[in-house]
Structure formats: structure tokens, C-alpha cells
Structure 1
Amino acid sequence: MSNSVFLSAEPSNGIRTVEPAVVIGPVRMYGVDCFPVSPEIVSVGKMGEYAPWFMEIGLRAMRDIVNEWVEKIIGKNVVVDTSLAGDGSMVSLLVNDAPAGAYGNPGLWQVIPVLVAGLMAKPGSVLKLEHPDAFLSEVGQAELGNFLANVASTGVMVVVETYSMCLMNSFRIAQKNGLINFTVCMRTDNALVPVDLGEEWPEDFFDTQEKQLAILMG
């Protein structure tokens, strides 16, 4: 069963539709060195294929912030950069000054489009992410959750489809600290149904780990 989390700076029922929306799907261009260029494009693309282009044409501050979060999410000593390739019709993604294709962690391709899209998002817009936590360690998932909470605190509605407890806990901490509000919905056959997150969470809702630990400790 799929779960959707709605993050916002203000309380939300979690089911309103707001435009414009930027949607990033679960599929990325893993292991690719060169990415397309398009002056007409205004978002990173469904697969995140235009994220390196926006890094290339953006302010240096964007690359610096991307790398700050890459260090937290992917690991230290990982520096991401871009450069125009060939006749300028493509842009190269570099990791530690080498072609990105030589870098072995697919989580890097997973997270860069999310970081760029989050930094580009404007208050009142919607950023929808499908399983952005794929290929990330638990620490990386938690840090990605912190990043998305920060994005939501600026007035962007962030919609996340996820199974990650680490992401969920980051959102819960952010709400406890007064940074955001979040609503969780479970997808049924016909609609998204808000979940009541009281002291007792619904059966089979992010409770598998607790059940396994109870067996191990029993």
C-alpha cells in the first residue's frame, strides 16, 4: 500500500490541488555523464534530466547548497559540479572533477534532481516526489527528510510518496519543532484517505520494524 505525505508551512487537509506542480518520478538517469540542455525548460523534468542544466546556469550559491546537502545525504568527500559539453548542446555532471558515470552510488542521481527542484521551488508551488529515498542509506533518508522539511517551511507544498520510516520521522521531528505541518494519506482504490496519527497508529502503518524488534527482544 502506497502512502503520501503532504508537507506545508501551514495546516493542510493534504488533499487540495495546487498549480503549478513539479513532479519527479521514481526513475532517474543512473550512471549518465551527459544531460540535455534546453533554455525553454522551467523544471528539472520527470526523471530529473534537466537538474544538471539548472546547476550549470544557476548561481554559484545553488551548487554550494547542493553540495552541502550531498555531503549530508550521500557522504563526505563527494563534490558535484557541472560543465557544458561538446558544442554546448549537453551538460556534463562531474563528481570530484571526474565524469559522474564512474561514481558508483546510484543515490547521487536520485537526490540531485530533488535538491535542485527544492531550491528552485517558489512559495505557493507544489513539489511532488515519488520515492525520493530510493538507494539512500538510512542516514541519507533522514537528511533528505530534513531538506524537504526546510523546503516546505518556505511555503512550498511538498508531496512525498514513500515507504521510508526515516523520512517520516524527520517530518515528525520537524513538525514537533514547529517547522512544518504534515498530513499522511493512505492510497485506496479510489482516493487518498487522511490517516489519524494519534498515539496508536493504524495497523500495518509503518509498524513492521517495531513488530520485528519485539520478536527479537521477546
Structure 2
Amino acid sequence: MCLALLVHGLALCAGVLGLMLLARPWSNLFVPLGGVVLLLLCVAARPRPSEEPERLLERERFPALHKLSDRVAAALGLAPLDGIGVSADFNANYRMSGWRRRRHMELGSPLMAVLSADELTAIIAHEISHGANGDPLRVQFLGQAIDTLAAWGQAARPLSIGNLGRGTPADHSFPCLGCRSSSRCSGCRSCCSPGPASCCGW
């Protein structure tokens, strides 16, 4: 947390110093160039809110899941979630999305396919408890500091942009645990229709 605070502080100082360099009389060309560079370093550290889940499960189509989420949230002293999303990841997460800080939980269809009812309740309670503990704010604060350092590192080595992704396997598919098909698919899209939620029988 201290390192993240240091990174954000450096970014703020860079922005202030950049404005000061641009505002003062320019004795040579390097003064405005230095000011622009410092401002760009500050811009790289700008807040970047999390995106909403790509696919949201409507309350009307999945009432049991939403009612379970509402009961868990009420037990933790929280308001109902603003939305529940589904993904093709073997994972689950809780996030505060957008500038309006809307609270979303995203559930991976492969994970949900292998959970019992009690395990599902435990997963939902675990994810919603992140909101009660204020974890998304801390994670976003730390994550933005990491993103800022990555952006600064990329700016310091612009020639490395062309090497990004080398050696990374192009096949990101995985066994679809929620499907009856034994073939590999990318997020249930190739063997199920219309998507992960339907193939896992939610």
C-alpha cells in the first residue's frame, strides 16, 4: 500500500511539475518538451474504473440466483447487487464498475457447473463479503499503481511494444466443464447456444 501511495504521489508531482514547466518562460526547447513528458506520465496514472461484466444475467430470467444473492447481501448488511455477470473463466469475482461505482459480481460458468448448492452459496457469500470489507477500493488503488508502473516502463522502452505477446500460446481455449461435449471450446461459444448460462443449465 505504501508503494502504491508513492507511485500515485510521484504521478501527481509529475503533473504539477509539468504544468510549472509549461507555464514558465521557455529558455529553450527542452523546457516545454520536459513539461509535456511529465504531463504524459501523470496522464498515464489517471483513474481507470473497472468495466462492467460483458454479459449480465437478467433478474427476470435467473430469479433464484438473484434471490440467493439478495439474501446473502442482506445477511451481510448490504444492499442488493446492481448486477450479476457470467464469464467463461473458472473463477468468480466482485467489482465496483464504472464511475458510478456499481457493484457487480461475476461468476464463471465452468466453476458454477461443478458446484453444489451449498458451495454456490459459499462462493457468493465470499464474493459479496469483499464489498463489505471495502476490498475493491484497495485492489483498485493497488492495481492502478501497477498499471501506472507498467505504462511508465513501456514508455521508457517503446521498442519493446513489438515484442509483446511473443512466446504466448495463441490457443486460449479450455475444457468446457459445463457442456456435455468432450471437445475443447472457447467460453462455451463453439458448442453451446446461446451462451455459458444456458449450457450449464442455470
TM-score normalised by length of structure 2: 0.23
Structure with a larger share of its residues in strand: 1
Give the structure, 1 or 2, with the largest relative contact order (CA under 8 Å, sep 6 or more).
1
TM-score normalised by length of structure 1: 0.22
Structure with a larger share of its residues in helix: 2
Larger Rg: 2
